[in-house]
Chain A
Amino acid sequence: MAERKKKNSGQELQQPVRGILMAGVGGQGILRASDILSHAFMASGLDVKKSEVHGMAQRGGCVTSHVRYGAKVYSPIDRRGNVDILLAFERLEALRYLDYLKRDAKVVINDLALNPPAVNLGEMAYPKDILSFFTATFPEVKIVKAFELARQAGNARAENTVLLGTLSRWLDIEIPVWERVIKEAFPPQAAEVNLRAFHLGREA
């Protein structure tokens, strides 16, 4: 793999570009989560680009979103073998994008299995032992029961904000910034639920 040359401006050396990949299934709120995350980076004074493919988001297909941040970001999508953090909204989707991850990538996995059609029809098996594969392969893996925590926060649909909370432990974004961008992303009542969800995820 081509190494990134380190002859750029001092600023770029100080804040090299890092990449987060979110992966899940249409309808899980991935695009909203990556929007919130990108606003948090922007509010922290960084350059940020995010990218996903729309169109199939509500039809049960795979959904991914790349978020890349640093002093100056060019590509909104990462290359294989280069992602720093994986935020998987579903177990199988974590495995599907394995080849994007760095050897020492950090990983958050939502402990949830959603059957794809071939599994529903009994034609293929849902792979077992995904979680143990990740914990054995990567140095830092957090497994979160986001559904339960979201329900505890007041709305099962706040899974995405729970997972952002867990992710936030590894990011240099201040809590008031998180709280501000979450408040801006929802109407007042939903914002309260999502703030609780964020903090429950952060403690998980």
Chain B
Amino acid sequence: MDRSLLSGNEAVARGAYEAGARFGAGYPGTPSTEILEEFSRYPGVYAEWSPNEKVALEVGIGAALAGARVLVTMKHVGVNVAADPLFTVSYTGTNGALVIVTADDPSLHSSQNEQDNRHYARSAKIPMLEPSDSAEAKAFVKAAFEISERFDTPVFLRMTTRVSHSKSVVTLNEPVPPPEAEVKAPDPRKYVMVPAMARLRRLEVERRMGELRAFSETFPENRMEINDTDVGIITAGMPYNYTKDVFPDYSYLKLGMVYPLPAGLIREFARRVKKLYVVEELDPFLEEQIRALGIEVTGKELFPFTNEFDPGIIALALTGRDAETIAPPAVAIPPRPPNLCPGCPHRGLFYVLGRMKVFVTGDIGCYTLSFMKPLSGLHSCICMGASIGMAHGMSKAAGEKGRGKVVGVIGDSTFVHSGITPLLDMAYNKGEAVIVICDNRTTAMTGMQEHPATGFTLQGEKTKELDLAALARTLGIDSVRTIDPYDIKNTREVLREELARPGSSVVISRRACVLFKRRPREVLKPLRVDVNKCTGCRNCLALGCPPISWRSFQDLPPEEVVRNTKKQDGNAYIDPELCTGCTLCRQVCKAGAIVEVD
């Protein structure tokens, strides 16, 4: 069969397709996003972006009850949103097959926390598999579908950023045909979880866990590699590769199933090696369970609790010797954090907000980056949707003193995900905060995914387009206005008016993401600085726009220095290759020094 170089995420999609899954639902979130995008392109597949992870899981439960094999994908914090149906679908079972992918993010590459979702498997009593590379990702998702159907249980597939976003060689196989789904005859004792029935299903869950524990002893992906028996390593997922890279000759118990654990296999492995280590990122999840078996093991006293590992971290922990590296020259290396793109529509809005005396509760999206200097236009970020409830709570608690002082900002996709109920709360409970929906017409941060307000589905079909302004009015918001964030003066005026107004306000700051290709964007001429007019006031630099830089006169050849004011010590420069011509800098330049490139 064909060999292909696939990312872990592409391999999960391929594995689900090969396993006969034709139904998928999820919400985008790094590092999980590409799984559903890729899955949606296979023939015969129905896949949808749901408004949030809770809805995606509920859609998946319904499809599985009809007998389908279903893939539901989300990032680690998405499981928090989906936790309500999760804990009870464990009781009802799935009828068909239901595989839930949780993509964890050790090192918080693109997340607000570093939670270890293996705990969800234990607390919801759901088995969990964890692959270490793309070939295993494809094999394990197929195993997950088999386990789900055989034991009538949802199954977790735990990915981490490093497995999701690494590519390695995968052998492709032919897909098996999907099962036929149908609307089943009702079975209230299994699916109506009122207390009397749920108590019975509760017993069933414990019986199933017993069966799964027995299964884990013979599951071939829990495998021993006996080599040098002086040292034995129990590990799973990507840390297996890191450890194997530096210590290929130790003995390994590699766990493909991280919950429930195979107690017999672990005891046998412990007997066969002299010194036993557990190598796992984040929490001592395996370690504590192995200790509870009465087995002596070394783990977190040597290995860090935080961040993802790499082969060097393993080597340092097990040998105490750090890598030999080359001494750097004695210079400060300027950091290069991610930044809002040139021409980003968020920039104008946050330039204005950063200059008002308001607390801006923020949310999850590209615009979160505007907390940084020089914009400094956002002051909190907790989770998807939190901005609105927080703004309402803050404004209520501060009472009269808080009037006109609190703004909540939230992206269009994030608003649809979990901003609607808090906005309803604010209207219902007579809140007075100003909520800005940063509507860039797409889910930009994760790479331009569709959502209910874009008018398109994941599979590219035109559909109903949610009218955000009409929704806000229907929820009971007193004042709803729309602005173009490329217009700084109007943005400032509208925000001032809404902050001064009694009652609740929603301002929709609407302009498509500058990278969004579906919406044709007028091509604007790049701008340049006229050095004969620039006074060196640095107003334009306060936009934090990547093409604009400061040229100190000290660093310029004398013939290029043009001084327009006495104290001027440099001037601004705009890189014409990067400038998109959005004109924000021209609007903030008091000297009229920013003009179109000829």
Contact = CB atoms under 8 A, between A and B. Distances in A.
Contacts of B326: 98-99, 101, 103, 137
Contact of B246 (A2, A73, A128, A129): A2
Given A103-B324, A120-B541, A120-B546, A60 B339 contact: yes
A121 B550 contact: yes
A76 B331 CA distance: 30
A106 to B, nearest CB: 14
Interface stretch (B39-47, B267-275, B309-317, B474-482): B309-317
A61 B336 contact: yes
Contact of B242 (A75, A82, A118): A75
Interface in A71-99: 73-82, 92-93, 95-96, 98-99
B546 A60 contact: yes
A164 B125 CA distance: 49
Given A1-B324, A76-B162, A98-B328, A38 B333 contact: no
Contacts, number: 193
Interface in A113-133: 115-122, 124-129, 133
B323 A52 contact: no
Contacts of B310: 75, 77-79
B321 interface: yes
B-side interface mostly: loop
Given A8-B248, A42-B3, A98-B328, A119 B311 contact: no
Contacts of B332: 124-125, 127
Interface string B540-563: 010010101110100000000000
Contact of B337 (A61, A80, A101): A61
Contacts of B244: 74-75
A1 B315 contact: yes
Interface in A35-69: 35, 38-39, 42, 47-56, 58-62
A4 B318 CA distance: 13
A121 B374 contact: yes
A-side interface mostly: loop
Contact of B167 (A49, A61, A99): A49
Given A48-B168, A76-B168, A59 B241 contact: no
A2 B109 contact: no
Contacts of B328: 95, 98-99
Contacts of B325: 80-81, 98-101
A52 B165 contact: yes
A138 to B, nearest CB: 8
A117 B333 contact: no
Contacts of A137: 326
Given A59-B338, A103-B326, A49 B166 contact: yes
A76 B246 contact: no
B110 A56 contact: yes
A1 B168 contact: no
Nearest to A137: B326
A63 B115 CA distance: 24
Closest 10 CB pairs of A and B: A79-B312, A81-B323, A61-B338, A122-B550, A75-B245, A59-B338, A51-B166, A76-B166, A55-B110, A2-B315
Interface of A: 1-2, 4-5, 7-8, 12, 17, 25-26, 35, 38-39, 42, 47-56, 58-62, 73-82, 92-93, 95-96, 98-101, 103, 115-122, 124-129, 133, 137
